[in-house]
Amino acid sequence: MSDANKAAIAAEKEALNLKLSPIVHLPENIGVDTPTQSKLLKYRRSKEQQQKINQLVIDGAKRNLDRTLDKRTPLLPPPDYPQTMTSEIKKKGFNYIYMKQCVESSPIVPIQQEWLDHMLRLIPESLKEGKEREELLESLINEVSSDFENSMKRYLVQSVLVKPPVKWLEDEEGPLPESPVGLDHSNPWRSSYVQARNQIFSNLHIVHPTMKMLLDLGYTTFANTVLLDFTGIRAKGPIDCESLKTDLSIQTRKAEEKIMNTWYPKVINLFTKKEALEGVKPEKLDAFYSCVSTLMSNQLKDLLRRTVEGFVKLFDPKDQERLPIFKIELTFDDDKMEFYPTFQDLEDNILSLVERIAEALQNVQTIPSWLSGTSTPVNLDTELPEHVLHWAVDTLKAAIHRNLEGARKHYETYVEKYNWLLDGTAVENIETFQTEDHTFDEYTEELDCCVVWEVYV
């Protein structure tokens, strides 16, 4: 056997004699949470850094507090008076002053810079320009800060100390203001809020969608209109009061018919739809229709009120361009001079027009009455309030008297100058003159006067 073969055989034997390394078994407690492993798993670097930061903040606050306390004015020792010089009242007073100084020397939190910045933002920029104004703003900020600090000290003193009944103590500027009375939030409010909201939705019918449509319909129909047109009365020229009364009465009746033929059918159409009562409970139906009637009544009352106000404004002496021109004749009948129609008749006719306007739209049925078709209809309350009618009557009376002052003065002038010709005074004077002895010239003068009287009469 050659050497090469021997070497190969020896190498194979040596390779067969190799052994694997022994198997290493894991410890039995490798899956158990030991104290060392638990501490390692719970460790957080962020917590450790947060603790360090908190400690730094606390240390800084302590240093600031120490600096503040060092800057405080040292407290004065309590006065030491002999017992023979002080009474109980003085002791209480001096003790209060001492305690007050102690309280006032405690640190006060200054006003926040955010508050000052907000105050400055309320000042227009034009008032901040210029060096002088900057100095003024700085002094203003200092004054506000000082007032804030003094107010806080005063509040602290009055909150901590009770002022004894000593007359010679300085005035503390009155008692502290009472705390504002507000809502009690000591108990949970969620359930009461939900209950109140549901109650509002169930009882406040004006927020119902149908109510909104009714409100829009009334606003569109009545917002820019009145029952009567007062613009063309002045242009008609002189008119009889009775003619004006008749014309306005006819206009009122036509306007009333127009409303009942246009607006009222639309309102009825709203409540004949299925969705008109959507969300309204049966037990709340009467309250809902009552709200409807109130809304319709308010719309019609407002229309009547604005019509009355427009009629009253027609006689405003300050607005001469709209004043009506009435025909008034100065008559002489049965030895009496007077105006026709009289001032009182004219006033009564004008005031009667207010009553005619107030009588309009008084027979408008309520929605439930119309829907039910009852034999005895129930009408809306569209009667104008008494204070509106009283105001209109009083204002018109004052305006009529003021506008008739010229005619009244004209009448008084006629009566003053010529009434003696009508009441028999002139005849008595002539008869007296005839019984007396006069010269020819006096007879001539008296005869001329008689001729003038006869011509006038």
pLDDT digits (tens, 9 = 90+) for 65-80: 878 777 666 666 666 6
pLDDT tens for residues 165-191? 777 776 555 554 554 454 554 456 677
| pLDDT tier at 288, thresholds 50, 70, 90 | confident
pLDDT tens for residues 403-416? 777 666 766 666 66
**Pick the residue with more confidence: 183 or 13?**
13
Residue pair 384/362 in contact by the 8 Å Cβ criterion: no
* 11 pLDDT more than 50: yes
Instruction: Taking residues 268-291, report their average pLDDT.
Output: 81
What pLDDT does residue 37 have? 66
Over pLDDT 90: what percentage of the chain?
Answer: 0
pLDDT tens for residues 95-111? 888 888 888 888 888 88
What pLDDT does residue 2 have? 61
What pLDDT does residue 456 have? 41
What pLDDT does residue 452 have? 44
pLDDT tens for residues 344-401? 777 888 888 888 888 888 888 888 888 887 778 888 888 888 888 898 888 888 887 7
| pLDDT tier at 451, thresholds 50, 70, 90 | very low
What pLDDT does residue 341 have? 73
* 324 pLDDT more than 50: yes
Over pLDDT 70: what percentage of the chain?
Answer: 69
What pLDDT does residue 454 have? 46
